[in-house]
Amino acid sequence: MILDGKACSERRLELLREEIDESGLHPHLATVIAGSDTGSQMYVRMKHRVCEQVHIGSVGIELPADVTLDRVLGSIRQLNEDADIDGILVQLPLPAHIHADQVIRSVRTDKDVDGFHPYNLGLLLSGSPKFAPCTPKGIMTLLAENRIGVAGKHAVVVGRSIDVGRPMAALLTNADATVTVCHSKTRNLPDETRRADILVSSVGKAHVITADMVKKGAVVIDVGINQLKGKLVGDVDFAAVQDIASAITPVPGGVGPMTIATLMENTFLAAKLRTCDTVW
Ligand code: NAP
């Protein structure tokens, strides 16, 4: 089975637009980007386009590559205080001289729709997430929508980044999977991945997951986005692994669209939470 993230995200976005229209709320997302990285600019443009599609208002703050940390923090402060803004997304990576951690920590936790603030990561670890990071949360949605159960399964996550690997492990643990996290210092990676009922790879290296590393019938989720001979590919050798896996995400068209749909869902969640008496 090919896990079609594009089709799934389109269904979710359609439902979300209806829900937003019925709610009477007018959610707003603000994006902050620094520098002129073409990949980052493309992602931000895409996010604004999808906002429009689901009737979420959006504003974009564009800062130059040589921006000071003070100016970035000043922009976030303004957005934190702006009553019209429900969600704030800081497009990563930031220029090397800007401490990303400091910027992430400056976002109000109830507007942190990326879920990277340590407070929101803490809630996730405690088992009661509010804003879980969009990529792993989108993967959980994709599994659920395809009726792939997680409880009791052995999940192996390759990669331990804050945006994908660690929160993925937490979400899978919260859903009662038994989880192994692997990284660049893992001894004998194939031994670990071959034990996976659900294998998630977020490494960023083309074909780091080969057919001999996958158990027959495993569910394979490929987060990686890599260029190989001018083509966009994931971490997984798709052509070889698709015959072994019971289900697999393609690249492109798998995890990526689910990430954006989840960002929209998190923004609407932020707008809903701001209208009720939730204690943060
Ligand atoms: P990251 O912060 O660079 O983390 C990569 C992880 O892979 C690290 O934990 C690293 O280990 C581990 N690693 C590196 N080489 C390895 C190896 N040979 N064997 C096992 N583990 C290895 O990356 P990320 O933010 O998670 O992103 C990973 C990829 O996913 C990138 O291609 C990125 O573009 C893509 N991505 C896609 C989406 C989407 O929506 N589709 C979202 C986010 C990211 P150490 O910790 O030991 O260094």
- Domain with residue 80: its CATH number is 3.40.50.10860
Residues of the chain with pLDDT under 70: 277-280
Is residue 264 in a domain? no
* 58 and 149 assigned to the same domain: no
Are 77 and 151 in the same domain?
Answer: no
**259 close to ligand 1 (CB < 6 Angstrom):** yes
Please report whether residue 167 resides in a domain: yes
* Residues 192, 95 within the same domain: no
Give me the domain span that covers residue 218: 134-256
pLDDT of residue 279: 45
**From ligand 1's centre to the CA of 143, what distance in Å?**
20
Residue 192 contacts residue 218 (beta carbons within 8 Å) = no
Q: How far apart are CA 249 and CA 259, in angstroms?
A: 13
| 24-63: pLDDT as tens digits | 999 999 999 999 899 999 999 999 999 999 999 999 999 9
149-to-82, 114, 152, 265 alpha-carbon distances in Å: 41, 25, 9, 22
**Ligand 1 contact via 224 beta carbon (within 6 Å):** yes
Is there an atom of ligand 1 within 6 Å of 254 CB? no
pLDDT value at residue 275: 84
Q: Is residue 104 in some structural domain?
A: yes
For the record, the structure tokens of 140 come out as 């959980």
- In a domain, residue 210? The reply is yes
Q: Both tokens of residue 126?
A: 């405690």
Residues 138 and 242 occupy one common structural domain: yes
Ligand 1: residue whose CA is nearest its atom 35: 224
Is 187's C-beta closer than 6 angstroms to any atom of ligand 1? Answer: no
Q: Can you list the positions of beta strands (E) in the chain? A: 28-34, 57-63, 87-90, 154-158, 178-182, 198-201, 219-222, 226-228, 231-233, 247-248
Rounded (10°) angle between helices 134-145 and 255-274: 110
Residue 275 domain flag: no
Backbone torsions φ then ψ of 253, nearest 5 degrees: 100, 10
81: CA distance to ligand 1 center in Å?
A: 34
Number of domains observed in the structure of the chain: 2
CA of 186 to the centre of ligand 1 (A): 14
Which amino acid, one-letter code, is at 123? Answer: L
Tokens of 218: 């495993």
Supply the Cα-derived Rg of the chain in whole angstroms: 19
Residues 69 and 159 in one domain: no
Q: Is residue 182 a part of any domain in this protein?
A: yes
Residue 265 lies in a domain: no
Residue 222 sits in a domain whose CATH number is 3.40.50.720
User: Ligand 1: which of 184, 199, 208, 232 to mutate, judged by most atoms within 8 Å of the beta carbon?
Assistant: 184
Q: Would 123 be classed as within a structural domain? A: no
| Pair 103, 153 in one domain | no
For residues 80 and 163, membership in a common domain is answered with no
Structure tokens at 226: 């890599």
Domain co-membership, 67 together with 153 = no
- Ligand 1 centroid, distance to 205 Cα (angstroms): 8
Tell whether pTM > 0.95: yes
Q: Do residue 61 and residue 163 come from a single domain?
A: no
Residue 72's CB is within 10 A of a number of other CB atoms, namely 23
Q: Cβ(225) to ligand 1 under 6 A?
A: yes
Instruction: Say if residue 167 is preceded by a cis peptide, omega within 30 of 0.
Output: no
Closest CA to 111 of 280, 258, 261: 280
